[in-house]
Structure 1
């Protein structure tokens, strides 16, 4: 029988009036059972670095037509903001040694549980409007959610290398159910309705919100929510509020920044995706004690595809083992 435990930071929501904890108190990883009983963190960070040490993580290059050729495409990450999986110890002192273990375009350190990362088979299983109607075979699952038209279905198709496994639409609000896709006969990707679609009738939006949040709170096989954020535009309040709700309710999440191929020229006043990602990280630090794992992606260029699958693999395999 599987031990139903969820991994990833169970982000502790901070009272906006309280002072943020010092970096030494940041909890990178907690284990909680489905009864939400806290255990000691399996991650013990023995490495020591100079204060405010950073690493410059390369970002996968987008299509050439979008490149600002006079700039390096890197993102600066404080070492204390890396996501370090269980049973991994960072090497002492050397930031360059750490860099070699960080997934490109992310803050995620590669751990020992990355086997079976590639997708060989993918099939649609069912649509549900109630959590109790979802598949009951007990295998781990990862849920995709984000603002309407953020690119959930496109990302799902990119991950499985199928153009129409999940139907895409330029019209927001196309996904209206909990859609389960079985991957390699061993785990699920779950496509959920988008939020923030103002044109949908109020009753419909209320129903979407109700069954989506019920799914998050009661689905024991949910390993992580993949919260999609549009990196081609500045941070939206609704995305921060959604991340805040997940954190308050101790729902594990990974931030997936989409549309990173859409590069705006700085001379026209637009920000590059890397800058929007950093801005979002700075905003979210006001609410959380631990930095969530995140990955930059593009369904157009497949940027971040392999990194997401490796991240999912190490979470999934650790979940199955424990």
Structure 2
């Protein structure tokens, strides 16, 4: 089946000027969350206290309704009542009816492409991993696939200079893109990066979404905001993936959670609907399972609703 992006999916992911489209839900949110197993042991409800003698029998306490700015995935109506156990820990992402098996059973490197037109043409859906040089793109890919050298990591920023495809479970791709903002690169190299990377985004019909990596150990960077704005203007859906959430850099001022809050406040006025975001760490494994679950529901929607 030839996959093509549906406008309704793009509207649910991309920044303005687009708005979210209503997609009919196929089953209840609570059932989807239970099936996906998103609640961790730390999220479990405390054991009820022993009933007092002659106490009246009361119904179960109401589940806490989450009111923070949430990302509602395809299949979740805008007026849905979202409870805490429906939200992926360390994120604003609601688990919807398209969430499914998120396990990575196998991953293999397929090819490197110097041009967008040389990328695989087998119509499998894919997620692109994008971010500033040295933000942790390769480390995140290695963590997601649990292969130490799936994507080679380097202490030298700007090492990735090609579009690299990794096939996961023989059904979808992770795509490692060159990092942007590497000051030591030549002007011609920066122009080449801009040309072929933007060509990939604008012409890749199988692109489900972009994982835009943001370094949470430092204050927000203008170049990251500029990149997010460019993706939004071109109707390309994205998820903000905050990396290095386990680190506190000396002399940088704020902790990762404080930097994330400032970044969210900075972009909040740019989006009519909250974009999805999640906290991660390739060192501790924070956010790995949640990110894969988020990707599974976008991918499953793509698979089920593609034309």
- Separation in structure 2 between the aligned mates of residue 192 and residue 3 of structure 1, nearest angstrom: 22
Shift in Å at residue 274 of structure 1? 1.5
C-alpha distance 217-110 of structure 1, shift in aligned 2 (>3 A): same
Secondary structure class of the residue paired with 2:83: helix
Does 1:202 pair with 2:175? no
C-alpha distance 321-92 of structure 1, shift in aligned 2 (>3 A): closer
Shift in Å at residue 205 of structure 1? 1.0
- Separation in structure 1 between the aligned mates of residue 5 and residue 274 of structure 2, nearest angstrom: 20
Secondary structure class of the residue paired with 1:280: helix
**1:1-322 paired onto structure 2 within 5 Å:** 1-6=1-6, 7=9, 8-13=12-17, 27=19, 29-30=20-21, 41-42=22-23, 79=67, 81-89=69-77, 98-263=83-248, 270-322=253-305
Shift in Å at residue 194 of structure 1? 0.3
- Separation in structure 1 between the aligned mates of residue 303 and residue 276 of structure 2, nearest angstrom: 20
Tell me the TM-score normalised to structure 2 length: 0.80
**Number of residue pairs the alignment of both structures matches:** 266
Secondary structure class of the residue paired with 1:276: helix
After superposition, the C-alpha distances for 1:213-267 in whole angstroms (9 at most, x for unaligned) are: 11011100000000000001110010011101111111100000000001469xx
Say if 1:91 and 1:98, in contact at 8 Å, map to a contact too.
Answer: no
Secondary structure class of the residue paired with 1:278: helix
Say if 1:10 and 1:252, in contact at 8 Å, map to a contact too.
Answer: yes
- Structure 1 partner of 2:55: none
- Considering only aligned residues, what root-mean-square deviation do their CA atoms show, in Å? 2.6
- Separation in structure 2 between the aligned mates of residue 237 and residue 160 of structure 1, nearest angstrom: 30
Secondary structure class of the residue paired with 1:314: helix
C-alpha distance 3-183 of structure 1, shift in aligned 2 (>3 A): closer
Say if 1:59 and 1:105, in contact at 8 Å, map to a contact too.
Answer: no
C-alpha distance 207-92 of structure 1, shift in aligned 2 (>3 A): closer
Shift in Å at residue 59 of structure 1? 11
Shift in Å at residue 9 of structure 1? 2.1
- Separation in structure 1 between the aligned mates of residue 252 and residue 219 of structure 2, nearest angstrom: 12
- Separation in structure 1 between the aligned mates of residue 41 and residue 160 of structure 2, nearest angstrom: 29
C-alpha distance 173-264 of structure 1, shift in aligned 2 (>3 A): closer
C-alpha distance 60-167 of structure 1, shift in aligned 2 (>3 A): farther
Shift in Å at residue 92 of structure 1? 6.7
C-alpha distance 4-80 of structure 1, shift in aligned 2 (>3 A): farther
Secondary structure class of the residue paired with 1:180: strand
Secondary structure class of the residue paired with 1:229: strand
After superposition, the C-alpha distances for 1:30-82 in whole angstroms (9 at most, x for unaligned) are: 4xxxxxxxxxx3269xxxxxxxxxxxxx9999xxxxxxxxxxxxxxx983620
Consecutive unaligned residues in structure 1, runs of 5 or more: 14-25, 31-40, 45-57, 62-76
C-alpha distance 239-43 of structure 1, shift in aligned 2 (>3 A): farther
